[in-house]
Each structure stands twice: as structure tokens, then as C-alpha cells.
Amino acid sequence: MTRYAIRILAVIIALGVWHFASTMKIDFIVSFKNIPSPLVVGSALGDLLTSSKFYVHILVSIKRICIGFVLACLLGIPIGILMGRSRFAEDLILPYIEVLRPIPAVAWIPLAILMWPTEESSIIFITFLGAIFPIVLNTIHGVEQTPEVLVRASQSLGAGKGAIFWHVVLPGALPSIVTGLAIAMGVSWFSLLAGEIISGQYGIGYFTWSSYTLVQYPQIIIGMLVIGLLGTGSTALVRRSAQPFLRWQVKGR
């Protein structure tokens, strides 16, 4: 049995358990009394797929993710490289990161609304904050883990600082940087949804929360599943895009 067949089987089993628990109204530790069955959710999804507004929610969220994530990459990777190569830069910047990083996205929302002129820019700012910290920290880790013996070998062969950086330090740090980008993508979705729930008017997070307030239970599950699929797909896209730069890696399996 192939790996993909096993994964498909796992999804089918999960759907079967969900269908059984919801139709039997199981109420043991976790209550399924008000949880719609997969068939009900599928029927509601069919109705939503004919509504243009549903696609607007999805596209708005994707646009926010793209802007916030790209800005985090453009700023986070250079900062991480600088901190990884310079102790002075690390000592100067790291205290800010360590203080701000544990603050949850929801806590930033009131301040973001005050700082930015529109709800759209405040949501993108919150998404940016969610992405930048994993990128910076993983970039620092990758740069600092560059084997010193490779740097010294390059120096003995006459390589300058620029050549050592481009041909030794950066390639060695790329696996950790890519891991940081993948983690940041997941965290940015979490941050985006927090912003959309509280201050948004469009977006898949807003759609999910408004479905709860309107007691539309199938739509809640649809929103959650769409969020999961978008997060999984965007993370896979990040990893796939980075593969051409990591061809030198020897895979263990």
C-alpha cells in the first residue's frame, strides 16, 4: 500500500468516525449533539460553491496572507542573517524579539487598530507579526549552525567574506530558513484569522465567526476545513518552491 493510499484511508476513517458520532448524537466527554454530519456539511458546501461571496472571502484572506508573508520574508531573512553573523546585532535586536514574540495575535489587535488607518492594513500587520518571528529565529539558527571547518577551509583557499557568505553560509542555512518559512506560513494563518474574527468584514476567518453568531453550524465546519486546506496548501507551496535550492541535500528516506 502506497503512502498516499494510507493517507486517503486515514481521511476516510476520520469521516466515518465523524459521521457515526454525529448521527448517533454521542455525548461522552465530547458532545456531538449539535455537530452536523459530513453529508449535511457537504450539502451546505455545494450551496456555498455557487455563491460568489464565498470566493471573495477566500481570495481576501489569500491576498492578506501573501502581503503579510512576503513582507515578513523581505524583512525577517535579512535581520536573521545579520543577527546570525554579528553578535552586536544579535545583542541589539534579540531583546525586542524575545519580548514581542510571546504576545498572541489577539492581543495586538487593539493596538494595530490604533496604529493603522484602515482595518485592512491592521489585519495585514497582525499577519506580518505572526510570520516574522519564526523566520528570524530559524534564520539565526541556520546561520549560526554553519560548520566552522567549512568557513576556515574556504578562507584557506582564498575566499573572501562575500564568497564565503554566498557559497558556504547561505546554502548551509537554507534548510533552517525554509523550515522557518513553513512554520511562519502556518502561524500567519492563525494570526490572520484572529484579526479577521475581531476587526474584519471579509475573509474566511470572518466567514467562520459570523457563521457561529448566526448559528450556521455546517458553515462553521466548512470554514474550518477551508482554513486547514489553505494553510496546508500554502505551506506545501513554500516547501515546493524551495526544493530547487536544496537539491544538494542528501535525503534520509
pLDDT at 214: 86
Q: Give the integer Cα–Cα distance in Å for 185 and 232.
A: 9
pLDDT at 199: 65
pLDDT at 80: 93
Residues of the chain whose pLDDT is less than 70?
A: 1, 147-152, 155-163, 199-200, 248-253
* CATH (residue range 36-246): 1.10.3720.10
Tens-place pLDDT, residues 201-239: 789 989 998 888 888 889 999 999 999 999 999 999 998
Alpha-carbon torsion (213, 115, 63, 74), positive or negative? negative
pLDDT at 248: 63
pLDDT at 200: 66
Tens-place pLDDT, residues 190-208: 888 888 877 667 899 899 9
pLDDT at 244: 80
Helix, strand, coil in percent for the chain, rounding step 5: 80, 0, 15
Grid coordinates in use for 126?
Answer: 497582525
pLDDT at 59: 94
Cβ within 8 Å of residue 148, ≥6 positions away: none
Please provide the size of the chain in residues.
Answer: 253
pLDDT at 22: 87
